[in-house]
C-alpha cells in the first residue's frame, strides 16, 4: 500500500513538473516571437529578392517611378526592377523600386502611391498560379491596375478581379545569385549536366 502511494505521489509530481516546464517553454517561445517581430535583426526579419511583377491585365510589369506607379513597365526596365522584402513570419512583404527607392503604398482612401517610408502588403497565392497583394493595413483592399496600367483604388478591387492578379518574374537577363546557388547535391548526373551547360 505504501508503494502504491509513493508511486502515485511520484506520478503526480512528474505531471506537475511537465506542466510547469510546458508553461515556461510556451511563455519563452511567445516572448521570443514577440521580440523578433517587434525588434527583429536583419537575418530573422526579412529575405530580400529582386524580381518583376507581371500584370495579368496589361501584359506589362509594375513599375515604381517615384511617387507614380503604373503597370506599363517593359521586361527588364529599370523602374520595373523591384526589391521585395519578405517577413520570416507570415507572408508580409514590402515592395520597393530598385531605381526610385520608393515603396508601393496605399493611402487611407485606397490610392496607390510611391513613398519613401515602407508599407506592408500580404501575399495571397491563387489557384491560377497568380498572386494577389492585399494591404495589411486596409483589409480587403488589393493592389490592382486597369487595362491602361493605371492603379485602381483599393475599395474598387477584389481578389477575383484580373486587375489584382500578378505573376513574379525574373527580369530579362537577370540572375538572382541566391537562386543560382540553391542547395544541390552534386552527383555524377548533376556534374555531367553542369559540364554540358557550361561547355
Q: Are residues 76 and 27 part of one domain? A: no
Per the model's pLDDT, the better-predicted residue between 27 and 85 turns out to be: 85
Flag whether pLDDT at 94 surpasses 80: yes
Q: Are residues 131 and 87 part of one domain? A: yes
Q: Are residues 135 and 77 part of one domain? A: yes
Question: Which residues pair with residue 49 across a beta bridge?
Answer: 84
Residues 63-80, mean pLDDT to the nearest whole number: 97
**Average pLDDT of every residue of the chain:** 78
Q: Which residue has 531605381 as its cell numbers?
A: 99
Q: Are residues 81 and 116 part of one domain? A: yes
Domain count, the chain: 2
Residues 80 and 76: their CA atoms lie apart, in Å, by 7
Q: Are residues 25 and 88 part of one domain? A: no
Flag whether pLDDT at 185 surpasses 90: no
Query: What cell numbers appear for 26 in the block?
Result: 510556451
Q: Are residues 104 and 12 part of one domain? A: no
Q: How confident is the model at residue 25 (pLDDT cuts 50, 70, 90)?
A: very low
Q: Are residues 145 and 84 part of one domain? A: yes
Q: Are residues 34 and 62 part of one domain? A: no
Q: How confident is the model at residue 172 (pLDDT cuts 50, 70, 90)?
A: confident
Q: How confident is the model at residue 33 (pLDDT cuts 50, 70, 90)?
A: very low
Answer yes or no: is 58 within a domain: yes
Query: Which residues span the domain enclosing 110?
Result: 42-171
CB neighbours of residue 62 within 10 Å: 27
Q: Are residues 81 and 34 part of one domain? A: no
For 101, list phi and psi in degrees, rounded to 5: 60, 30
Q: Are residues 93 and 61 part of one domain? A: yes
Which is nearest to 170 in space by CA: 81, 46, 65?
Answer: 81
- The verdict on pTM exceeding 0.75 is no
Q: Are residues 30 and 105 part of one domain? A: no
Beta strands in 78-157 (DSSP E): 82-87, 92-97, 103-106, 112-115, 121-125, 131-135
pLDDT in tens, 120-167: 999 999 999 999 999 999 999 999 999 999 999 999 999 999 999 999
Amino acid at each position: 500500500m505504501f508503494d502504491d502511494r509513493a508511486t502515485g505521489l511520484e506520478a503526480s509530481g512528474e505531471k506537475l513538473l511537465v506542466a510547469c516546464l510546458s508553461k515556461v517553454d510556451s511563455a519563452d517561445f511567445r516572448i521570443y516571437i514577440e521580440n523578433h517581430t517587434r525588434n527583429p535583426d536583419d537575418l530573422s526579419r526579412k529575405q530580400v529578392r529582386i524580381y518583376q511583377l507581371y500584370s495579368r491585365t496589361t501584359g506589362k510589369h509594375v513599375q515604381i517611378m517615384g511617387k507614380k506607379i503604373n503597370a506599363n513597365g517593359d521586361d527588364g526596365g529599370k523602374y520595373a526592377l523591384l526589391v521585395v522584402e519578405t517577413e520570416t513570419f507570415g507572408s508580409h512583404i514590402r515592395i520597393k523600386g530598385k531605381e526610385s527607392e520608393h515603396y508601393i503604398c496605399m493611402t487611407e482612401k485606397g490610392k496607390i502611391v510611391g513613398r519613401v517610408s515602407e508599407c506592408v502588403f500580404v501575399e495571397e497565392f491563387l489557384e491560377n498560379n497568380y498572386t494577389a497583394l492585399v494591404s495589411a493595413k486596409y483589409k480587403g483592399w488589393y493592389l490592382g491596375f486597369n487595362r491602361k496600367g493605371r492603379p485602381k483604388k483599393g475599395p474598387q478591387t477584389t481578389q477575383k478581379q484580373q486587375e489584382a492578379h500578378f505573376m513574379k518574374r525574373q527580369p530579362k537577363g537577370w540572375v538572382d545569385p541566391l537562386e543560382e546557388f540553391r542547395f544541390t547535391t552534386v552527383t555524377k548526373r548533376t556534374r555531367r549536366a553542369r559540364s554540358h551547360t557550361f561547355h
